[in-house]
Amino acid sequence: MNNKYINKKVILSSYPVGLAKKNDFSVVTEEIDTLNDNEILVKTKYIGIDAALRLLLRDSDDFLFRVKKDDLIRGSIVGEVIESKNPKFSDGEYVLGSLGVQKYCVSNGEGIEKCDLNLANPELWLSGMGLPGLTAYFSLLDVCKPSPDKNVLIIGAAGAVGSIAGQIAKLAGSKVIGTTSSDEKCKWLIEELGYDHAINYKNKDWFEELSAVSDKRLDIIFDNTGGQVMDESLKIIGMKGIVLLCGSTSQYSENEIKGPNNYIWLGTMRARLQGFVIFDYEDRYEEARLNLSKWLNEKKIKMPTHLVEGDVDKFPEIFEDLYKGKNYGKFVLKLND
């Protein structure tokens, strides 16, 4: 198979300062080697664009799993097995894995899951059926426990995780409020996803609006962004409330991450700021996916997936757009070849 496949991959060319720019990335090509025993060749079909990646693109050993200069950019993909020397995988099967922003990948199959296309279309395995959906599912149902008497705030409500989380909280009967970055996205949250209220945090009086619609009590703050929106919201955390720390996108581009100055209200209100990592639930992914797929097919939830078509070299542009808040749900690059 020598020379048959030419891989094209996105690498880090310089550590970004502030928001990651196009020229912080480069595209390189390489020949794919012949497969060894037990290996498979995967052709990427869809690439998920993850906000958390920005945290890893820094010249600091503070974080594990860093992407260093000249490293392949990390990313989850859905692809097709086009050659297999591994008995567990067959040609034509669709798989999901953290295989990086590239066109082809040779793998021994470790950490790769199969996509059951009877449950959902392939691109949805990067949104509602993938880590965003699984994160929303377990962090809400297992940790936050929404119920009809609860007020739930989703910060970053139109994002990959937030857009699913709000719908699951609605299914549980809670009053669901979301914050996002534009009036258009507010409209979308309410009309498409069924949020009770949606607030554009760029409006001067967003916090007054939030206080009013929640009657100054938030039982669950589901936070994807950190920063000022989360910090202000802490002032109205309810008694024994929970602030689920799902992500901190507002801080990933900062040189110095800022903590929530209003944390002292957690004390007064016997509330907690709770860390969460989806990988703790790996042995229950199947259960979640069956439920998520069922809800999808019964039209109880949507799995918002913001598809953009192009080649792998479109990645830097979409990553920039993600940080500009242009996505409605999960940003996914669909490879057009």
Given the rule CB under 8 A, which residues bind a second copy? 64, 226, 231, 245-248, 251, 256-277, 280
The β-bridge partners of 25 are 12
| C-beta closer to a second copy: residue 141 or 171 | 141
Residue 334, amino acid: K
| C-beta closer to a second copy: residue 110 or 256 | 256
Least distance (Å) between residue 268 CB and a second copy: 7
Contact call for residues 105 and 79 (beta carbons, < 8 A): yes
Q: Nearest CA to 225 among 154, 176, 319, 155?
A: 155
The β-bridge partners of 79 are 44, 95
CA distance 159 to 224: 8
Contact call for residues 314 and 167 (beta carbons, < 8 A): no
What backbone torsions phi and psi does residue 75 show, to the nearest 5 degrees?
Answer: 180, 150
Measured CA distances, 144 to 21, 147, 165, 168, 210 (Å): 36, 9, 11, 11, 20
CA distance 238 to 259: 20
Least distance (Å) between residue 235 CB and a second copy: 8
| C-beta closer to a second copy: residue 89 or 138 | 138
| C-beta closer to a second copy: residue 148 or 267 | 267
Least distance (Å) between residue 99 CB and a second copy: 23
Least distance (Å) between residue 128 CB and a second copy: 22
| C-beta closer to a second copy: residue 208 or 280 | 280
Least distance (Å) between residue 211 CB and a second copy: 14
